[in-house]
Structure 1
Amino acid sequence: MGSVFILISDPRGDTLRIRALGPALPVLAAVLVAATACGGSSSADNTGGSGAMKLKVVATTTQVADFARNIGGDKVTVTQILKPNVDPHDYEPSPADIQAIADADLVVQGGVGLEKWLDQTIKSAGFDGTVVDTSKGVAIRKGGEEEEADGDPHIWHNPGNAEIMSRHIAAAFEAEDPADKAAYAANLKTYTGKLRQLDTWIAGQINSLPAGGRKLVTNHDAFGYYIDRYRLTFVGSIIPSFDTSAELSGKQLNSLVAKIKSTGVQAVFSESSLPPKTAETIGREAGVKVVAGEDSLYGDTLGPAGSAGATYLEMERHNTTTIVTALKG
């Protein structure tokens, strides 16, 4: 079956050419027609009352959306596709996501294959603007399986990488909106300072642990960049993959329990976006503490507003405090 396109006009008189995906055509068409009939994102809607147009930015993940807000400040409006505590690995875009991308000036992604759904979504939206891959220039950790061919996508868990990601965002904003270049540069400088302070603080906290006690067992392989940066020992993960859809076999589970016992691991850490049941089973079998609930680590996603992981800076502080407290026993 060939591709099906919908041609509609937005309030500015431009024609949007949007490819519908198979059986979703009727729903998608209804959503898009309703959105444009209601006026979409007009100039008046995008000024914040200042009279000046703001850049319309679509950010894929919670992390890059947070970076974009910090760098863009009041010069941008950020539409965040992934919501807090939603697993990004198996996400399925909605018609609203397609419409947001169709209306955007810029799309910002984490990269390294994390958003496997993004390329098709961009095509479906007919978007031909700038796509900012924030992973460019980051030293990528290797993947261990075929589905991890691009490498480990959890690059933000090293604040140095977050700094690189933020620089890409600032450069893209400046290119798209040169009149506000000074504002973006100032915001980048301020945020870079906070990231460097965070890095120093985390290093000090981890270094307060005995060298032999810096051992980590997590839900899945999301913390490799953090482990490398702060020189922890990775004992194992409940899901032995970067992708949370992978499953742990009975043999692997028994092997992990034995490894926890033999290495003297103090705790098993669950993650906010994953159910803690398997972690609790392994902790019970190994006879060690399981960190779950409100103390869960934020791995793939930030938390909701008001939570301990509502922003990138808060997330990394929460994770570090939780790890250090648990490993001190």
Structure 2
Amino acid sequence: MKNRQRITWFAAAAAAVTVLAGCGSGTDSGSASAASGGTKLAVVATTPEVADFVRNIGGSDVAVTQIIKPNVDPHEFEPTPADIQAIGSAKVVVKSGVGLEAWLDRTVEAAGFQGAVVDSSQGVKLREGGHEEGEGEEHAEEHDPHIWHNPQNAKIMVTNIEKGLATADPAKADTFAKNLGTYSAELDRLDADNEAAYAKLPVADRKLVTNHDAFGYYVDRYKLQFVGSVIPSLDTSAELSAQQLSDLVAKIKATGTKAIFTESSLPPKSAEAIAQQAGVKVIGGDDALFGDSLGAPGTPEGTYLGAERHNTQVIVSALGG
């Protein structure tokens, strides 16, 4: 029934694009629609993370429309008619990949998009249930899509984006390559800073409980222990059973875990209730982690680098205190 409703919705949304095209989309001057008649390359990016990557690699030579806004859950996202129109007006669409954007193929078809879709996940070594698997998206639904939480994966993602932009606009290829070199160095610096921060945290304190299982690549990279999550899933649609809730509380107590970390794009109530039962602190509010999203535009956390630095600072401070 849910799939049938989505198909009906897409048909209605596609029809609505015709109306929007007649009256204007209302997007800002940085949108793909606004750029389609100019000299900038019109790019649609699905998530806040890949949109930030595109802005860093494309610089002033691209106009980016970001589909999913900050603090919106990408697992439950449904595009609007305006999103479909933006995709139809773009030259390039960039996605995070690994099945995160389950809605994208249908949207691209509804938009009549004729450009290139860049899958930024290509070449990233994927993980499933804490174990690394093969490359690519053949079994995307079985793999963890939160690949960007390892800065070395982010380097692969921006390399894929640079190739896609250069193919679409060869005249700017040298500029894109230069921007890639600069940004890749910043990703290496982020990675080194994260490693240095965790080197100061005793191994026994490196225990993580989050809203949902979004930090697997981060946990693997910095050798943390993932104790569990309030939502026992890689996406956000699952719920803890009474038994799972009791088991998580017991595991938190048994392992000596110090805190539960909420996430900016998810409600904190369940995490707060579990933290109370387990007798540990809950980290939320301004200190909530950025699991699926970035912060507000114009803030340090509104960039990938700033959000990841925030996550590390909050986790190390809470677990080391």
**Superposition TM-score, scaled by structure 1 size:** 0.87
The answer to whether residue 176 in structure 2 is matched with residue 190 in structure 1 is: no
In the alignment, residue 122 of structure 2 is paired with which amino acid? Answer: K
Q: Between Structure 1 and Structure 2, whose CA radius of gyration is higher? A: 1
- What are the equivalent positions in structure 2 for 1:192-207 lying under 5 Å apart? 192-207=184-199
Q: Identify if the C-alpha distance between structure 1 residues 326 and 308 changes in structure 2 by more than 3 Å, giving closer, same or farther.
A: farther
Deviation of 1:309 (Å): 2.0
In the alignment, residue 92 of structure 1 is paired with which amino acid? Answer: E
1:81 is aligned to 67
Choose which of 78, 95, 100 in structure 2 pairs with 1:114.
Answer: 100
The answer to whether residue 58 in structure 2 is matched with residue 58 in structure 1 is: no
2:117 is aligned to 131
Render the CA deviation track for 1:37-72: whole Å, top value 9, x for unaligned: 549999994289xxx611100000010000000000
1:46 is aligned to 35
- Return 5+ residue gaps in structure 1 as ranges: 1-19
Kept in 1, the 8 Å contact 2:98–2:141? The answer is no
Counterpart secondary structure, 2:70? coil
The answer to whether residue 8 in structure 2 is matched with residue 22 in structure 1 is: yes
Counterpart secondary structure, 1:271? coil
Deviation of 1:174 (Å): 0.6
In the alignment, residue 286 of structure 1 is paired with which amino acid? Answer: A
What is the rounded CA distance, in whole Å, between the counterparts of 1:43 and 1:275 in structure 2?
Answer: 32
The answer to whether residue 82 in structure 2 is matched with residue 93 in structure 1 is: no
What is the rounded CA distance, in whole Å, between the counterparts of 1:130 and 1:93 in structure 2?
Answer: 19
Counterpart secondary structure, 2:237? coil
Kept in 1, the 8 Å contact 2:14–2:111? The answer is no
2:241 is aligned to 249
What is the rounded CA distance, in whole Å, between the counterparts of 1:290 and 1:320 in structure 2?
Answer: 16
Kept in 1, the 8 Å contact 2:32–2:90? The answer is no
Determine what percentage of the aligned residue pairs are the same residue. Answer: 58
- What are the equivalent positions in structure 2 for 1:224-303 lying under 5 Å apart? 224-303=216-295
The answer to whether residue 307 in structure 2 is matched with residue 326 in structure 1 is: no
Kept in 2, the 8 Å contact 1:143–1:149? The answer is no
Larger mean CA deviation between 104-113 and 121-130 belongs to 121-130
What is the rounded CA distance, in whole Å, between the counterparts of 2:188 and 2:231 in structure 1?
Answer: 31
Deviation of 1:201 (Å): 0.1
Q: Indicate the structure with greater helix content.
A: 2
- Return 5+ residue gaps in structure 2 as ranges: 1-5, 131-138
> What number of residue pairs does the alignment pair up?
305
In the alignment, residue 217 of structure 1 is paired with which amino acid? Answer: V
- What are the equivalent positions in structure 2 for 1:144-223 lying under 5 Å apart? 149-223=141-215
What is the rounded CA distance, in whole Å, between the counterparts of 2:32 and 2:296 in structure 1?
Answer: 29
What is the rounded CA distance, in whole Å, between the counterparts of 1:274 and 1:39 in structure 2?
Answer: 29
In the alignment, residue 138 of structure 1 is paired with which amino acid? Answer: V
* RMSD, matched Cα: 2.4
Larger mean CA deviation between 100-109 and 29-38 belongs to 29-38
What is the rounded CA distance, in whole Å, between the counterparts of 1:133 and 1:199 in structure 2?
Answer: 23
